[in-house]
């Protein structure tokens, strides 16, 4: 056996030791319904978070930088995940100025106005939902969920959630969407597969009413081509 194969086998062995022998999984479909009950065809912007109720998890490390682009007077992606200490980058792909800010307690920041091609960076410090806005464009909003569990997923492109290698115990399952808010279930996870089916209702406005970074109403744009 060559040294490379021995190294690979050793790494796999360490990974196996890190996962409890009795670990299970949580999986099942998720449905996002409109007010009228129609199921949306996509789970875009739906987040699933699984948190232990009794046993604390090991501290999570900062993720690689999260990139949220400003393009077409919108944030892309609209919803992102991060951990405390993660750097967030805001590349300006428009031909106009932007100014990203948040007044979320514990994660307040203000990039100031920045030009096309600029890439301002900030770090998020505390767990929770961080609401992002642009001080130039009232219609722009985005959301960053800062989590302290490795069991967190964006469900874009999926039909449901699937968490693997979950240690046995009681968990809080949180589902969140910008237009549905948060809904919580309590799950008991054991060996094997814990099956379920979960639903959210999109009953909130697409754009939450908000003020600019100074706490004032937004001024009407002087020139829509530039603002």
Report pLDDT digits (tens) over 20-50: 457 899 999 999 999 889 999 999 999 999 9
The pLDDT of residue 51: 95
How buried is 153 (Cβ within 10 angstroms: 0-12 exposed, 13-18 middle, 19+ buried)?
Answer: middle
The pLDDT of residue 3: 42
Please check whether residue 10 lies inside any domain of the structure: no
Q: For 108-131, what is the mean pLDDT? A: 97
Q: Find the angle CA(158)-CA(191)-CA(52) to the nearest 5 degrees.
A: 70
Q: For 51-74, what is the mean pLDDT? A: 89
Predicted TM-score of the model (pTM):
0.85
Same domain for 212 and 157: yes
Dump pLDDT digits (tens) for 124-161: 999 999 999 999 999 999 999 999 999 999 999 999 99
Q: Is 14 a residue whose pLDDT tops 80? A: no
The pLDDT of residue 225: 53
Please check whether residue 137 lies inside any domain of the structure: yes
Beta bridge partners of 130: 144
pLDDT band at 12 (very low <50, low <70, confident <90, very high): very low
Higher pLDDT, 224 or 131: 131
Least-confidence region, from 6-15, 48-57, 79-88, 186-195: 6-15
The pLDDT of residue 219: 87
Q: Where are the alpha helices (DSSP H) in 107-200?
A: none
Sign of CA dihedral 113, 116, 119, 124: positive
Instruction: Note the residue count of the chain.
Output: 227
Same domain for 77 and 40: no
Q: For 96-109, what is the mean pLDDT? A: 97
Please check whether residue 206 lies inside any domain of the structure: yes
29: domain CATH number? 2.60.40.10
Least-confidence region, from 55-59, 171-175, 185-189: 55-59
Q: For 160-172, what is the mean pLDDT? A: 95
The answer to whether the CB of 154 falls within 8 A of the CB of 46 is yes
Please check whether residue 196 lies inside any domain of the structure: yes
Q: Return d(Cα 42, Cα 32) in angstroms, integer.
A: 8
Q: Is 63 a residue whose pLDDT tops 80? A: yes
Same domain for 70 and 50: no
Q: Return d(Cα 90, Cα 136) in angstroms, integer.
A: 15
Least-confidence region, from 93-107, 154-168, 208-222: 208-222
- The whole-chain average pLDDT of the chain stands at 88
The pLDDT of residue 19: 45
Question: Among residues 107, 125, 146, which one ends one of the domains?
Answer: 146
Same domain for 176 and 161: yes
Question: Among residues 115, 130, 146, which one ends one of the domains?
Answer: 146
The pLDDT of residue 54: 84
- The whole domain housing 29 covers 20-57+150-222
107: domain CATH number? 2.60.40.420
């Amino acid at each position: 056996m060559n040294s490379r194969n021995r190294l690979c086998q050793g790494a796999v062995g360490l990974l196996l030791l890190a996962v409890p022998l009795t670990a299970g999984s949580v999986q099942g479909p998720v449905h996002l319904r409109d007010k009228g009950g129609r199921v949306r065809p996509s789970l875009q912007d739906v987040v699933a978070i699984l948190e232990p109720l009794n046993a604390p998890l090991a501290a999570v490390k900062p993720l690689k930088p999260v990139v949220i682009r400003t393009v077409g007077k919108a944030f892309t992606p609209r919803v992102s995940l991060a951990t405390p200490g993660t750097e967030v980058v805001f590349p300006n792909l428009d031909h106009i100025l932007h100014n990203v800010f948040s007044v979320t307690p514990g994660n307040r920041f203000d990039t100031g106005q920045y030009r096309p091609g600029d890439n301002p960076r900030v770090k998020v410090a505390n767990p929770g939902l961080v609401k992002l806005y642009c001080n130039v464009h009232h219609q722009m909003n985005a959301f960053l969920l800062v989590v302290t569990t490795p069991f967190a997923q964006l469900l874009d492109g999926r039909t449901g959630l699937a968490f693997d290698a979950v240690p046995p115990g009681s968990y809080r399952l949180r589902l969140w969407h910008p237009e549905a808010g948060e809904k919580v279930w309590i799950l008991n996870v054991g060996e094997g597969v814990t099956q379920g089916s979960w639903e959210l209702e999109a009953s909130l406005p697409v754009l939450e009413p908000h003020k600019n970074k100074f706490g004032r109403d937004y001024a009407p744009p002087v020139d829509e081509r530039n603002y």
